[in-house]
Structure 1
Amino acid sequence: MPYLTEPEPVRGLATEVAPGIRRIVAGNPGLMTYHGTNTYLIETGQGTVVLDPGPDDEAHVAAILAATGGSVGAILLSHSHSDHLGALAALQAQTGARTFAFHRSADSAFRPDVPLQDGDSVAGLLAIHTPGHASDHLCFARPDGIVFSADHVMSWSSSIVSPPGGDMAAYFQSLRRMLARDDRLLLPGHGPPLPDPAPYIQELLDHRIKREEAIAETLRTGPFAAMDLVKELYSQTNPWLIRAAERNVVAHLQKLEQEGRASRHADGWVSSLSSSDASSR
């Protein structure tokens, strides 16, 4: 995959990434977060909107308050994972802004002030339900072709799909939904902006399809545990990312099971297709 990179950003600084949009990168770098979570400050007719407050970090909240002068029109949440949600309570306490997020939160402890449905609009942004990475994941689209893609499509890496909250079948559908759009720029939850996103999204989808077919083919010689499949198919994976690879494999296995192409047994996963079925695919 042709992933993008960028220099480590200056912490606590709001920098313009597109007209009317600034970004502050949180101080939570890591193997799963790249340089950190992107918090976006979006100028709208309803004031400055904060998208994804970021992790629970006093310094990051202080940077958001400094960049907005403490005046926030609304707080939007792409999904309820802690690296996006953690700072929300502190930011809301300081600003009094209402929170907007998908109406079925994946975090039982969080309920938005304004629950959003797929297709709703807030501050001129269209909410697009894109489950896969998380069941409550939303992308937000501006009318000018800029989309805040959060963790659904990231420029620096593919997304982890970890059941039960992650769903590979839903992820495939959500990627295809984004492909059907005519967007010009994606602003992800981690990593740099992604221009001309359609070819990249197609490669993400093709990569996942290829990986799934490799899993399905390997299962014909099963049974295999999910970690056995990781060792068989992910030989070049960073050892620190093996756990993430296993979660992706489990998500693929569950999708194959839903489609009648794999089944679980006490000693592992096996193919549900006969040799003739497999050869006809």
Structure 2
Amino acid sequence: MPYLTEPEPERGRATTVAPGIRRIVAPNAGLMTYHGTNTYLIEAGEGVVVLDPGPDDAGHVQAILEATEGCVAAILLSHSHSDHLGALAALKARTGARTFAFHRSADPAFQPDVPLEDGGMVAGMACLHTPGHASDHLCFARPDGVVFSADHVMSWSSSVVSPPGGDMAAYFRSLRRLLARRDRLLLPGHGPPLSDAAPYIQELLDYRIRREEAIAEALRDGAVTPRELVDKLYSQTHPWLRQAAERNVTAHLLKLQAEGRAEPSGKGWISAERQGAG
């Protein structure tokens, strides 16, 4: 995959990434988060809108407050994973801003002040429900061709799809939905901006299809576990990322099962064709 890189950003500082849009990168760098979660400050008609407050980090909240001078018109959430949601309560308490997120939160402890629906509008942006990485994942599309793609499409890495909240079939559908739009610029939840995104999204989809076919082929040789599939197909994966790879494999297996192409067998999985022949 032609992933993008960028130098480590200056911490605690808002930098312009597009007209009317600034970014503060949270200090939660890691193998799963790159340099950290991107918090976006969006100039809207009603004032500054904060998208994805980031992890529960007092210094990051303070950086948001300083960059906005404490005047936040609304807090938007792309999805309820902790590296995006964690700072929301503190930022809401300091600003009094209402929170906006998908109407079916994947985190039972969080409910937005204003629930959003697929196709709805917020701060002049269209809400695109793009489940796959998370069941409550939203992208936000501006009329100028800029889309906040959060963790659905990231420039530095492919997304982890971890059941039960993650769903590989939904991820495929959501990739195709974004691909069909042909937007000019994606601003992801981690990593640098992505221009001319269509070829990149297509490669993400093709990569996942190739991986799924490799899994299906391995199942034809006999029953295997997700861990054994990781050993076979992800031999170059960093040891710390093996758990994420195993979750992706499990998501592929569940998709294959729903399509009638794979079945659980003992402690592992097997091709449905082989199971029927046996």
Fold shared per TM-score above 0.5: yes
- Matched with 1:72 is 72
Letter paired with 1:269 = W
Give the C-alpha shift of residue 265 in structure 1. Answer: 1.9
**Which whole-Å CA distance do the structure 1 matches of 2:275 and 2:103 have between them?**
44
**Which whole-Å CA distance do the structure 2 matches of 1:24 and 1:203 have between them?**
28
TM-score, scaled relative to structure 2 = 0.98
- Matched with 1:200 is 200
Q: Which runs of 5+ in 1 are unaligned?
A: none
**Which whole-Å CA distance do the structure 1 matches of 2:98 and 2:273 have between them?**
51
Letter paired with 1:191 = G
**Which whole-Å CA distance do the structure 2 matches of 1:55 and 1:30 have between them?**
13
- Matched with 1:159 is 159
| Equivalent residues of 1:77, 1:99 under 8 A apart | yes
| Correspondence list, 1:255-274, <5 A | 255-273=255-273
How much identity, in percent, do the aligned residues show?
77
Give the C-alpha shift of residue 192 in structure 1. Answer: 0.2
Structure 1 stretches of 4+ with a deviation exceeding 4 A read: 274-277
Letter paired with 2:50 = V
TM-score, scaled relative to structure 1 = 0.97
Give the C-alpha shift of residue 274 in structure 1. Answer: 5.2
- Matched with 2:96 is 96
| Equivalent residues of 1:222, 1:268 under 8 A apart | no
**Which whole-Å CA distance do the structure 1 matches of 2:112 and 2:13 have between them?**
27
Q: Which runs of 5+ in 2 are unaligned?
A: none
**Which whole-Å CA distance do the structure 1 matches of 2:149 and 2:227 have between them?**
30
| Equivalent residues of 1:55, 1:87 under 8 A apart | yes
**SS of aligned partner of 1:140:** strand
**Which whole-Å CA distance do the structure 1 matches of 2:274 and 2:119 have between them?**
42
- Call closer, same or farther: CA 1:47–1:276 in 2, change over 3 Å: same
**Which whole-Å CA distance do the structure 1 matches of 2:105 and 2:44 have between them?**
25
**Which whole-Å CA distance do the structure 2 matches of 1:96 and 1:233 have between them?**
49
- Matched with 1:182 is 182
**Which whole-Å CA distance do the structure 2 matches of 1:259 and 1:275 have between them?**
15
- Matched with 1:52 is 52
Give the C-alpha shift of residue 266 in structure 1. Answer: 1.6
Give the C-alpha shift of residue 273 in structure 1. Answer: 2.0
Structure 1 vs Structure 2 CA RMSD: 1.2
| Equivalent residues of 1:146, 1:187 under 8 A apart | yes
**Which whole-Å CA distance do the structure 1 matches of 2:267 and 2:13 have between them?**
52
**SS of aligned partner of 1:118:** coil
| Equivalent residues of 1:100, 1:114 under 8 A apart | yes
| Length, aligned pairs only | 277
Please list the CA deviations of residues 25-50 of structure 1 after superposition, one character each: whole Å capped at 9, or x if unmatched.
Answer: 00000000000000000000010000
- Matched with 1:118 is 118
Give the C-alpha shift of residue 182 in structure 1. Answer: 2.1
| Equivalent residues of 2:263, 2:275 under 8 A apart | no
Letter paired with 2:119 = G
**Which whole-Å CA distance do the structure 2 matches of 1:31 and 1:81 have between them?**
16
**Which whole-Å CA distance do the structure 1 matches of 2:192 and 2:268 have between them?**
40
| Equivalent residues of 1:26, 1:39 under 8 A apart | yes
- Matched with 1:227 is 227
